[in-house]
Chains A and B, each alone.
Chain A
Amino acid sequence: MAGQTVPFFYDDQIRRFLIQFTRMFSNYQVEYGVDDSGAATLVRVPVRYGDASRQAAQIIAQNSRSKMPSAPMMTFHITALDYARDRVQEPYFVDRKTLKQRSWDEDTQTYEQTQGNAFTIERLMPVPYNMTIQLDVWASNTQQKLQILEQILPMFNPSLEIQSTDNYIDWTSLSVVELTGVNWSSRTVPIGTDDTIDMATLTFSIPFWITMPAKVKKLGVIHKIIASIYDTDGNAADAIVDDDILMGTRQKITPFGYQVILIGNQLQLLKQEQVDPSRDTLTAPAEISATDPVKWQGFIDNYGALRDGISQIRLTSEHTDTEIVGTVALHPSDDRFLLFSLDSDTIPTNTLSALTAVIDPLSSGPGVGLATASRGQRYLLTDAIGNASDDENAVAWGNLVADKNDIIEYDGGVWNVVWDASNQTPDQSTNITDFVTNTTTGIQYKWTGTEWVRSYQGLYRGGDWSLVL
């Protein structure tokens, strides 16, 4: 859109190399002979950028013609900056790096020993350039020039490493300074009419990279890693974007292969090889008894810090169309568990009125293990009743004839089958089916067409869940 500007970005990338280049040639000395005791009189050779502005140069000279330049000294300036076609690599390559920082103490301005934020860093392939720098060595006599050169030249055989920063993430920081040429003198030989300051010129080449800013992303989601990203049409792009494509072409991986089990409001972390409790039972599975339990804290530390009530666990179930989302907090006394606060908007909507309980009608009945029959009571049956061979409790249920998985309801006089499992078939095209919640346990069930299963509680294997910090 017209009127919008590119966000400003400038990172001193070349400037930082020049600063380090200056450092590389600093602190060398020349000898001004000896004093009366025979000790060498040494003078440091300053190094500075040669292409000073006239205004700054005049300020340095204190606006005085009496100020005189000094020698020896070294000055340098850039003579060329060329795109390095021979070092081009995949221009669209994006490198991703996951990093965990140590927590930062604002009070002491130091890093602590605990984990802080975790980030994913994305770096676009930098652009290769070659920079040519000319270093002029100013000397007032030949001996002085030799003293400087004899100290500098052995450092370049043929090159010396240079770093523009020590940032661990900056993959453009490292380069080399290669000596490519030496011009012995700026004077004509033999000497002309002036005894000018002599200048030896060293030419250096620095191959380096110019980069765009990196993308820093909060490492919040331990995502399933999609190993195969092609859909059935061979379309990679669509497959990446469409997270619902699950045709067996994708391989989902969770770090360490860990799985989680949701029981009530508690989430437990399980190793891959630990018992995989059956999900398709109508009774709540017993807590996993692990002799070597996995602790949530150690796992979360890999990715960042858990923020109670803010961090989320997202569950992907084959029985639901959407992710089940809930905020989590560390269990106050048992670090095997996270407390899971379900976002009720993310679970499937019940299509049937809530159940009073899930019962076996052959072992319990109204007033016998169950409350006395009253209007509106609804039970889901785990066994059939009312057949000729099942007459033992027929008195308790009246003349009710019902099958396993049926839902019955008391209308104040008799029990009726209000949801007949034999007539319920999910629409395969829309996957629309019935959901109902058991008010005794709070567990929601889904009808698969052949049986009732818990809709979202239970085991989530590696790749079926994610952590949002």
Chain B
Amino acid sequence: MPRLSLYRPNKTNDYKFLDKTISEMYTTGGVDIFVHKYLGPKVVGDSSVRDTGDVTRPTYDESDPLNVEDLLFLENRNRDYDDDIYIMRGVYSVQDIDFDLSQFGLFLNGDTLFITFHYNDMIDTLGRKLVAGDVLEFPNLKDYHPLDPNNAIPKALPRYYVIQDAAFAAEGFSPTWLPHLWRVKATPLSATQEFDDILNKPIDPDNPSAGTIEDFVSMKKKDQEINDAIVQQAEIEVPRSGYDNTAFYVTATVGDEPVKPGTPSVDGYLVGYMTGNNLPPNGLPVTPGVSFPSNPGTGDYALRLDYFPNRLFRFDGNRWIKVEDGVRTELTPGDTDNKTLKESFQSNRATVQTTDRGNIPSSQSLSDLLKPTKDN
């Protein structure tokens, strides 16, 4: 008589009976969970577009979850997700979560879900096991009532989680000692580069102009609006570097004694660090140009635009005397009117004309400087 044992090295009818029962239990008592299946690093354009010439960032011609985009940092930044949504039944414990939005809780809150799926149903539906990087969408957690007094949000906000870890569930082993459940650990999704393929789709496919999913479920847009408002205020408070002395009056003098009428030869007591603004004292008129005006009168001002920085001159009756250089400049990074030294390197948008390569960017990395580039 054989020993009594529920364990079998292969999947017997006992296993199948239990597995069907468990599957039925998940179908009956589980909740729909939408799965955004990770396909691999994103493949864009043709091979010439993808080829960076960097061996550590290999070129792939097809999406494959086995591929790794960056062999140095070992990360997949631009991920390709299946356009099809896979619906699976899962079970998880609903828990109370504090709304943690403080600085260090922005991304580290405790809203971690442990979801179990029926293993064989998962394989049948998805074709593989759920893996870290797959994104889960919980339709039962859709938010139909976000704070939206103007009804600007066209649809209920979906709730996304990303799988951090996956393994057989301890509670999913039957008396046969074979597993029936797949347990995943999922944390709330962040609107990052990795999930751009999911979030950068229209929230309302019937009305693509309504905006992308990211526009409504991410705080990025609001963060940028906040940032814009602060920069706008900063530009109001300090429109240009240095100091604005245009509101002040300078007395015209000759030989240290006041004269009237007359124009000041210098900014007088207003001269100081970063005060050159290319504006004559007292708001007096100035003639801008790339050469001095002909037949000037004594006390006339001219602004030479062919100087960098532009230079203000005053005619003293015999010659043009330098008054100041226009050294005040916009300060916002990236602003085309930002003329600071560092910005001239950082935001250099100029091009250089060549005889054989057309116009090449003036801004070049030192590591690639003046190297020939491929033609196609």
Chain A positions within 8 Å of B, measured between CB atoms, are 16, 19-20, 22-28, 30, 32-38, 43-44, 46-48, 50-52, 54, 57-73, 75, 77, 98-102, 111-116, 136, 138, 140-144, 151, 154-155, 160-161, 163-168, 173-174, 193-197, 256, 271, 294-295, 297-299, 301-302
Which of chain A's residues has its CB closest to B101's CB? A57
Contact B146 A67 (CB under 8 A): yes
Contact B284 A64 (CB under 8 A): no
User: Which residues of A have CB within 8 Å of B84?
Assistant: none
The smallest beta-carbon distance between B45 and chain A, in angstroms, is: 4
The smallest beta-carbon distance between B198 and chain A, in angstroms, is: 11
Contact B217 A33 (CB under 8 A): no
User: Which residues of A have CB within 8 Å of B233?
Assistant: 19
Which of A52, A65, A100, A111 has a CB less than 8 Å from the CB of B251? Answer: A100
Which of B42, B77, B141, B196 has a CB less than 8 Å from the CB of A65? Answer: B141
Contact A297 B193 (CB under 8 A): no
Contact A168 B142 (CB under 8 A): no
Which of chain B's residues has its CB closest to A29's CB? B334
Contact B143 A155 (CB under 8 A): no
**Alpha-carbon distance A113/B264, docked complex (angstroms):** 12
**Alpha-carbon distance A164/B331, docked complex (angstroms):** 12
User: Which residues of A have CB within 8 Å of B237?
Assistant: 16, 19-20, 164-166
Known: A22-B227, A28-B333, A63-B146; 11 extra A-B contacts, CB below 8 A, are A20-B331, A22-B230, A26-B334, A34-B44, A46-B227, A48-B230, A64-B146, A100-B249, A111-B283, A194-B187, A298-B259
Which of chain B's residues has its CB closest to A35's CB? B44
Contact A63 B244 (CB under 8 A): no
Which of chain B's residues has its CB closest to A103's CB? B249
Which of chain A's residues has its CB closest to B159's CB? A66
**Alpha-carbon distance A197/B273, docked complex (angstroms):** 43
Among A70, A71, A72, the most chain B Cβ lie within 10 Å of the Cβ of A70
Contact A68 B238 (CB under 8 A): no
User: Which residues of A have CB within 8 Å of B193?
Assistant: 30, 32-33, 43, 71-72, 140-141, 144
The smallest beta-carbon distance between A287 and chain B, in angstroms, is: 21
Contact B44 A67 (CB under 8 A): no
- Could you give, for residues 274-288 of chain B, a 1 whenever the CB lies within 8 Å of some chain A CB and a 0 otherwise? 010000001110000
**Alpha-carbon distance A164/B234, docked complex (angstroms):** 8
Asked if A111 meets B223 with Cβ closer than 8 Å, knowing A27-B332, A34-B49, A301-B258, the reply is no
Contact B231 A23 (CB under 8 A): yes
Which of A28, A73, A301 has a CB less than 8 Å from the CB of B223? Answer: A73
- Could you give, for residues 153-171 of chain B, a 1 whenever the CB lies within 8 Å of some chain A CB and a 0 otherwise? 1000111101011000000
Q: Is B191 an interface residue (CB 8 A)?
A: yes
Q: Can you identify 30 A-B contacts, CB atoms within 8 angstroms? A: A19-B237, A26-B231, A26-B332, A32-B78, A33-B42, A46-B227, A48-B223, A60-B219, A63-B147, A65-B143, A68-B190, A69-B191, A70-B192, A70-B214, A70-B223, A71-B191, A72-B192, A73-B223, A102-B283, A113-B282, A141-B193, A143-B73, A144-B193, A166-B244, A167-B244, A168-B245, A194-B164, A294-B257, A298-B258, A302-B251
User: Which residues of B have CB within 8 Å of A30?
Assistant: 193
Among A68, A193, A299, the most chain B Cβ lie within 10 Å of the Cβ of A68
Contact A26 B240 (CB under 8 A): no
Q: Which of B102-110, B293-301, B306-314 contacts A (4 or more CB under 8 A)?
A: B102-110
Contact B49 A46 (CB under 8 A): no
Which of chain A's residues has its CB closest to B185's CB? A193
Q: Is B289 an interface residue (CB 8 A)?
A: no
Contact A166 B334 (CB under 8 A): no
Which of chain A's residues has its CB closest to B225's CB? A46
Q: Which residues of B88-109 are within 8 A (CB) of A?
A: 97, 99, 101-103, 106-108
**Alpha-carbon distance A197/B244, docked complex (angstroms):** 43
Q: Which residues of B154-207 are within 8 A (CB) of A?
A: 157-160, 162, 164-165, 185, 187-194, 196
Q: Is B363 an interface residue (CB 8 A)?
A: no
The smallest beta-carbon distance between A139 and chain B, in angstroms, is: 9
Q: Is B218 an interface residue (CB 8 A)?
A: yes
User: Which residues of A have CB within 8 Å of B107?
Assistant: 69, 71, 138, 196-197
**Alpha-carbon distance A168/B346, docked complex (angstroms):** 29
Contact B103 A50 (CB under 8 A): yes
Q: Is B128 an interface residue (CB 8 A)?
A: no
Contact A23 B42 (CB under 8 A): no
**Alpha-carbon distance A48/B222, docked complex (angstroms):** 11
Contact B248 A140 (CB under 8 A): no
Asked if A141 meets B77 with Cβ closer than 8 Å, knowing A34-B44, A63-B146, the reply is yes
Please give me the 4 A-B residue pairs with the lowest Cβ-Cβ distance, nearest first.
A140-B192, A70-B220, A66-B157, A57-B101
Q: Is B355 an interface residue (CB 8 A)?
A: no
User: Which residues of A have CB within 8 Å of B249?
Assistant: 100-102, 114-116, 301
Which of A26, A115, A143 has a CB less than 8 Å from the CB of B70? Answer: A143
**Alpha-carbon distance A168/B268, docked complex (angstroms):** 14
**Alpha-carbon distance A36/B47, docked complex (angstroms):** 10
Contact A19 B234 (CB under 8 A): yes
Which of chain B's residues has its CB closest to A60's CB? B222
Asked if A155 meets B147 with Cβ closer than 8 Å, knowing A22-B227, A68-B160, the reply is no
- Could you give, for residues 334-357 of chain B, a 1 whenever the CB lies within 8 Å of some chain A CB and a 0 otherwise? 110000001000100000000000
**Alpha-carbon distance A19/B335, docked complex (angstroms):** 17
Which of A48, A66, A112, A174 has a CB less than 8 Å from the CB of B283? Answer: A112
Contact B240 A33 (CB under 8 A): no
Asked if A102 meets B282 with Cβ closer than 8 Å, knowing A68-B160, A141-B73, A163-B241, the reply is yes
Contact A299 B258 (CB under 8 A): yes
User: Which residues of A have CB within 8 Å of B244?
Assistant: 166-168
**Alpha-carbon distance A99/B251, docked complex (angstroms):** 11
Contact A165 B251 (CB under 8 A): no
Which of chain B's residues has its CB closest to A99's CB? B248
User: Which residues of B have CB within 8 Å of A43?
Assistant: 193
Contact A27 B159 (CB under 8 A): no
Q: Is B235 an interface residue (CB 8 A)?
A: yes
Which of chain A's residues has its CB closest to B226's CB? A48
**Alpha-carbon distance A119/B190, docked complex (angstroms):** 57
Asked if A46 meets B258 with Cβ closer than 8 Å, knowing A66-B141, A196-B108, the reply is no
The smallest beta-carbon distance between B219 and chain A, in angstroms, is: 6
- Could you give, for residues 229-266 of chain B, a 1 whenever the CB lies within 8 Å of some chain A CB and a 0 otherwise? 01101110111111111111111000011111000000
Which of A64, A71, A138, A166 has a CB less than 8 Å from the CB of B147? Answer: A64
**Alpha-carbon distance A11/B102, docked complex (angstroms):** 28
Which of B147, B165, B188, B218 has a CB less than 8 Å from the CB of A59? Answer: B147
Q: Is B151 an interface residue (CB 8 A)?
A: no
User: Which residues of A have CB within 8 Å of B258?
Assistant: 256, 298-299, 301-302
Q: Is B132 an interface residue (CB 8 A)?
A: yes
The smallest beta-carbon distance between A58 and chain B, in angstroms, is: 6
User: Which residues of B have CB within 8 Å of A98?
Assistant: 269
User: Which residues of A have CB within 8 Å of B13?
Assistant: none
Contact A197 B192 (CB under 8 A): yes
Among A75, A195, A302, the most chain B Cβ lie within 10 Å of the Cβ of A195
